[in-house]
Protein backbone atom coordinates (compact mmCIF):
# COMPACT_ATOMS: atom_id res chain seq x y z
CA UNK A 1 0.00 0.00 0.00
CA UNK A 2 2.93 2.33 0.52
CA UNK A 3 3.51 2.51 -3.23
CA UNK A 4 -0.03 3.72 -3.93
CA UNK A 5 -0.20 6.19 -1.07
CA UNK A 6 -2.94 7.09 1.35
CA UNK A 7 -4.92 9.52 -0.82
CA UNK A 8 -7.96 7.65 -2.24
CA UNK A 9 -7.57 6.75 -5.88
CA UNK A 10 -9.76 5.27 -8.59
CA UNK A 11 -8.25 1.87 -9.45
CA UNK A 12 -9.09 -0.68 -12.13
CA UNK A 13 -7.80 -4.16 -11.40
CA UNK A 14 -7.81 -6.28 -14.55
CA UNK A 15 -8.15 -10.04 -13.96
CA UNK A 16 -8.97 -9.41 -10.29
CA UNK A 17 -9.67 -13.08 -9.61
CA UNK A 18 -10.81 -13.72 -6.04
CA UNK A 19 -9.94 -10.21 -4.84
CA UNK A 20 -6.59 -10.85 -3.16
CA UNK A 21 -5.38 -7.37 -4.18
CA UNK A 22 -8.75 -5.68 -4.73
CA UNK A 23 -10.14 -6.16 -1.22
CA UNK A 24 -7.17 -4.71 0.71
CA UNK A 25 -7.11 -1.70 -1.64
CA UNK A 26 -10.79 -1.08 -0.96
CA UNK A 27 -10.34 -1.50 2.79
CA UNK A 28 -7.85 1.36 2.91
CA UNK A 29 -10.24 3.66 1.06
CA UNK A 30 -9.55 3.35 -2.67
CA UNK A 31 -12.44 3.19 -5.13
CA UNK A 32 -11.70 -0.13 -6.85
CA UNK A 33 -13.30 -1.71 -9.91
CA UNK A 34 -12.54 -5.39 -10.38
CA UNK A 35 -12.72 -6.80 -13.88
CA UNK A 36 -12.61 -10.53 -14.55
CA UNK A 37 -14.01 -12.78 -17.24
CA UNK A 38 -14.65 -15.64 -14.81
CA UNK A 39 -17.95 -15.35 -12.97
CA UNK A 40 -16.85 -17.99 -10.46
CA UNK A 41 -13.84 -15.91 -9.40
CA UNK A 42 -15.99 -12.81 -8.98
CA UNK A 43 -18.40 -14.82 -6.83
CA UNK A 44 -15.49 -15.63 -4.50
CA UNK A 45 -15.11 -11.90 -3.82
CA UNK A 46 -18.81 -11.61 -3.07
CA UNK A 47 -18.67 -14.61 -0.72
CA UNK A 48 -15.86 -12.89 1.21
CA UNK A 49 -18.26 -10.04 1.97
CA UNK A 50 -20.08 -12.36 4.39
CA UNK A 51 -16.96 -12.39 6.59
CA UNK A 52 -16.19 -8.66 6.31
CA UNK A 53 -17.74 -5.31 5.48
CA UNK A 54 -20.16 -5.33 2.59
CA UNK A 55 -18.09 -5.16 -0.62
CA UNK A 56 -20.18 -2.37 -2.17
CA UNK A 57 -19.92 -0.23 0.97
CA UNK A 58 -16.15 -0.35 0.48
CA UNK A 59 -16.51 1.30 -2.93
CA UNK A 60 -15.95 -1.87 -4.94
CA UNK A 61 -17.57 -2.44 -8.30
CA UNK A 62 -17.29 -5.87 -9.93
CA UNK A 63 -17.61 -6.41 -13.68
CA UNK A 64 -17.69 -9.69 -15.57
CA UNK A 65 -16.12 -8.96 -18.92
CA UNK A 66 -12.88 -8.84 -20.85
CA UNK A 67 -10.97 -5.56 -20.93
CA UNK A 68 -11.84 -5.05 -24.59
CA UNK A 69 -15.47 -5.88 -23.89
CA UNK A 70 -15.63 -3.43 -20.99
CA UNK A 71 -14.14 -0.64 -23.12
CA UNK A 72 -16.47 -1.38 -26.04
CA UNK A 73 -19.50 -1.41 -23.74
CA UNK A 74 -18.25 1.78 -22.09
CA UNK A 75 -18.42 0.18 -18.64
CA UNK A 76 -15.14 1.84 -17.76
CA UNK A 77 -14.19 5.26 -19.08
CA UNK A 78 -10.75 6.85 -18.96
CA UNK A 79 -8.98 4.20 -16.90
CA UNK A 80 -6.08 5.42 -14.79
CA UNK A 81 -3.74 2.48 -15.34
**What tens digit of pLDDT does each residue of 45-57 get?**
877 665 556 666 6
Residue 78 lies in a domain: no
Query: CATH number for the domain including 26?
Result: 3.40.50.150
Domain count across the chain: 1
Residue 81 lies in a domain: no
Residue 1 lies in a domain: no
Q: How far apart are CA 81 and CA 58, in angstroms?
A: 20
Residue 30 lies in a domain: yes
Residue 32 lies in a domain: yes
Structural domain containing residue 65: 10-72
Q: How far apart are CA 2 and CA 15, in angstroms?
A: 22
- pLDDT the model gives residue 81: 46
- pLDDT the model gives residue 67: 73
Enumerate residue ranges in the chain where pLDDT < 50: 81
- pLDDT the model gives residue 69: 74
- Among residues 17, 23, 51, the alpha carbon closest in space to that of 36 is found at 17
Three-state DSSP class for residue 25: helix
- Among residues 55, 2, 6, 5, the alpha carbon closest in space to that of 33 is found at 55
Amino acid sequence: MSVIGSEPKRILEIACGSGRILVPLAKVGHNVTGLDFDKYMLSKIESKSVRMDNITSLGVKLMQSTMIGAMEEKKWKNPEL
